[in-house]
A and B are shown apart, each in its own frame.
Chain A
Amino acid sequence: MKFLLIDDSEIELYVTSRLLENAGLSSSVLTFLEANDALSHLHTIKTEDQQLPDVILLDIHMPTMSGFDFLDSYIQSFAPVLSKPISIIILSSTADQKDFEKAANYAIVKGVFDKPLDTGRLKTLLEEINI
């Protein structure tokens, strides 16, 4: 399974990548420190199903483009031209219940996870949504 991770912390990107690989969940992991760069990358490969990720793990609180900003742009400009559905999962250490509620209100958000990533729970969720 192909993962794309967006988080402004390099440590988090490293930890989550290793957790995914060690749990045997990922065939490839692409990481981005800036949500903007992730979005541009997705645009360049939008027609190439083979290269598109299956799952995006997205942080919420990031400078310049937040997780919510990313979701809004993604829905507006990217999702309509996409041939293959990508599951977006929020991975954040926010302690603000409102963030969770807001995130859960996005139809494209398939799950909201606290850090560090619980790979067991992720596996169950991915099986449920059938990827």
Chain B
Amino acid sequence: MKPPENKPKILYLDDEPHNITALRAILRKEYEVVGCLSISEAYALLKEQEYQIVVADLKLGEDDGIDFLDDIREKYPRPIKILLTAFFDFAAAVKGINKAKIFSYLFKPLNEDEVLSTIRIAHEHYLNNALLEFKQDELEKAHEELNRFVYSASHDMRAPLRSIIGIIKVAEMEGIDDRVKHYFSLIERSVNQLDAFNLNLISYFKNNKQETVIEPIDFKEIARDIFEQFQYYPGAEAINFVINTDQKEPWMGDLFRIKIIFNNLITNAIKFQKSQITNKHIIITCDTTDLKKVTLIFEDNGIGIAEDDQKRIFEMFYRATRENSGSGIGLYIVKEALNKIGAQIRIESKPNIGTKFILEIPSKQNIEA
């Protein structure tokens, strides 16, 4: 038995029945033409099933074929729209293209070759659109899955990493000789690095997903908390950490993303210190005098960034130095978070002298006002 034929469907609106018969005769081998004589009938048919192509006559008694095609555009965006006219009407053509987004014209009396080729091209256009739509859905799904994978993988990796740190702590408490102690401290450092990378991936994922929540922010408190959290980092205790702020009242903003930004800039300033010098410092300046924005400066006297690298440090996984064990994701996440809150970042840096990041974050009230 032959499977039922699944021909592409064309809805044809024309108030003259013999035109419908004529078009159906031309297209019957390749297409199923469903004819209707009035706009209300056309609406009813559109509701029942999907058409690949809709053809409408320009003159429909009182009604206008262009208005009909324009009218169905929003609700039925997929079918390709073709207008049928008895003579070339310039004004109608302009209106058809500009307003109703008509794909093509057909002229009466119908010429068989012209009709077939126009309809075939329209159908091809329909198929391309459908394919594009399908690919886009797939892409979105794949992107979503990738995000979810990264997120859950980072979460799952965290538990065993924390176990390792726990075991090292137990071993240290129970007494081990100095050599082993040294090895354990190296393991601990590596594990903490991996864990920090993991947490970075999680914050990258969240930065993409999380809605903006506006909360009161105390910049000094955020900076202090983060600096204290990273006291374990080798050499961190020798850094003079200074916060200059004129902030007297809470500043309203996206606390979650501002924390991501502070976290990465401060840990970078801690990590990329020069090892030999004794007067290491990190200075954070917070200026809220301009009500439209807050200006934050993160300054250190660390190893600095070469000019060529300065353009690239915000790229994903770009690492400007072999020294230190960054993964190259931190500043990328900073940039992504800054983008989400509409903030700007500038860098001033000289190798061996130090680095200054200057941030300008627009205040929320002004964006809304």
What residues of chain A have their CB less than 8 Å away from a CB belonging to chain B? Answer: 9, 11-12, 15-16, 18-19, 22-23, 61, 93-96, 114-117
- List, sorted by A's number, 8 A–B pairs whose CB atoms are closer than 8 Å: A15-B170, A18-B170, A19-B170, A19-B173, A22-B170, A93-B161, A94-B155, A95-B202
Cβ of B258 < 8 Å from any Cβ of A?
Answer: no
Interface size on B, residues (CB 8 A): 17
Q: Which residue of A lies closest to B168 (CB)?
A: A116
A9: chain B residues within 8 A (beta carbon)? 159, 163
A93's partner among B158, B169, B173, B174 (CB-CB below 8 A) is B158
Chain A contact surface mostly:
loop
Q: A96: shortest Cβ distance to chain B, in Å?
A: 7
Q: Is the CB of A115 within 8 A of B162?
A: yes
A-facing residues in B159-177 (Cβ within 8 Å): 159, 161-163, 165-167, 169-170, 173-174
* B115 within 8 Å of A (CB atoms): no
Contacts of B159 in A (CB 8 A): 9, 12, 61, 93, 115
Which of A15, A18, A22 has the most B CB atoms < 10 Å from its CB?
A15
**Does A93 contact B162, Cβ atoms closer than 8 Å?**
yes
Provide the bound-state CA to CA distance between A58 and B162, in Å: 16
Chain A residues with CB under 8 A of B161: 93
**A22-B173, A96-B155 are contacts. A15–B166 as well, Cβ < 8 Å?**
yes
Cβ distance B214 to chain A, nearest Cβ, rounded Å: 17
Determine which of A12, A23, A61 lies in contact with B166 in the assembled complex, contact meaning CB atoms within 8 Å.
A12
Q: How far is the CB of A17 from chain B (nearest CB, A)?
A: 9
Least Cβ distance of A6 to chain B in Å? 15
Contacts of A15 in B (CB 8 A): 163, 166-167, 169-170
| Interfacial chain A residues near B169, Cβ < 8 Å | 15, 19, 116
B interface residues with partner A (beta carbon < 8 Å)? 154-155, 158-159, 161-163, 165-167, 169-170, 173-174, 198-199, 202
Contact indicator B158/A116 (Cβ below 8 Å): no
Report B-chain residues with C-beta under 8 Å of the C-beta of A12: 159, 163, 166
What residues of chain B lie closer than 8 Å to A95, measured between beta carbons?
154-155, 158, 198-199, 202
Complex: A95 Cα to B199 Cα, angstroms: 7
B163 touches A11 (CB 8 A): yes
Chain A residues with Cβ below 8 Å from B198 are 95
Other-chain contact of A116, B165, B199, B202 (Cβ < 8 Å) = B165
Q: A67 to chain B: closest CB distance in Å?
A: 13
Write out the residue numbers on chain B whose beta carbons fall within 8 Å of the beta carbon of A117: 166
Q: How far apart are the CA atoms of A23 and B161 in the complex, in Å?
A: 22
The answer on a CB contact under 8 Å between B155 and A19 is no
Q: Identify the interface centre among B154, B158, B163, B165: most chain A CB within 10 Å of its CB.
A: B163
Instruction: Decide if B202 touches A115 in the complex (CB within 8 Å).
Output: no
With CB as the reference atom, state the residue of chain A lying closest to B256: A97
- Interface centre among A9, A11, A116, by most chain B C-beta atoms within 10 angstroms, is A116
Shortest distance from the beta carbon of B350 to any chain A beta carbon, whole Å: 36
Q: Which of B162, B167, B174, B198: most chain A CB closer than 10 A?
A: B162
Q: Across the two chains, which residue of chain A brings its CB closest to B170?
A: A18
Question: Shortest distance in angstroms between B70's beta carbon and chain A's nearest beta carbon?
Answer: 47
Chain A's nearest CB lies how many Å from the CB of B111?
66
Q: What residues of chain A lie closer than 8 Å to B166, measured between beta carbons?
A: 11-12, 15-16, 19, 115-117
- CB-CB nearest in chain A for B172: A22
Q: How far is the CA of A117 from the CA of B170 in the complex (A)?
A: 10
A61: chain B residues at CB < 8 Å are 159
Chain A residues with Cβ below 8 Å from B162 are: 93, 114-116
A85 to chain B minimum Cβ distance, whole angstroms, is: 28
Q: Tell me how far the C-beta of A24 lies from the nearest C-beta in chain B, rounded to whole angstroms.
A: 11
- Take A114-B162, A116-B162 as given contacts and tell me if A11 and B167 are in contact as well, using a CB distance cutoff of 8 Å: yes
CA A32 – CA B202 in complex, angstroms?
30
Kindly list the 3 A-B residue pairs having the minimum CB-CB distance in the complex, ordered from nearest.
A116-B166, A15-B166, A115-B162
B174 contacts across to A, CB distance below 8 A:
18, 22
Contacts of B167 in A (CB 8 A): 11, 15
Select from chain B the residue with minimum beta-carbon distance to A23.
Answer: B173
Distance, CA A12 to CA B164, complexed state (A): 9
Residues of B within 8 A of A16 (CB): 166
The answer to whether A115 and B155 have CB atoms under 8 Å apart is: no
- Which residues of chain B come closer than 8 Å to A19, judged between CB atoms? 166, 169-170, 173
How distant is B63 from chain A, measured CB to nearest CB, in Å? 56
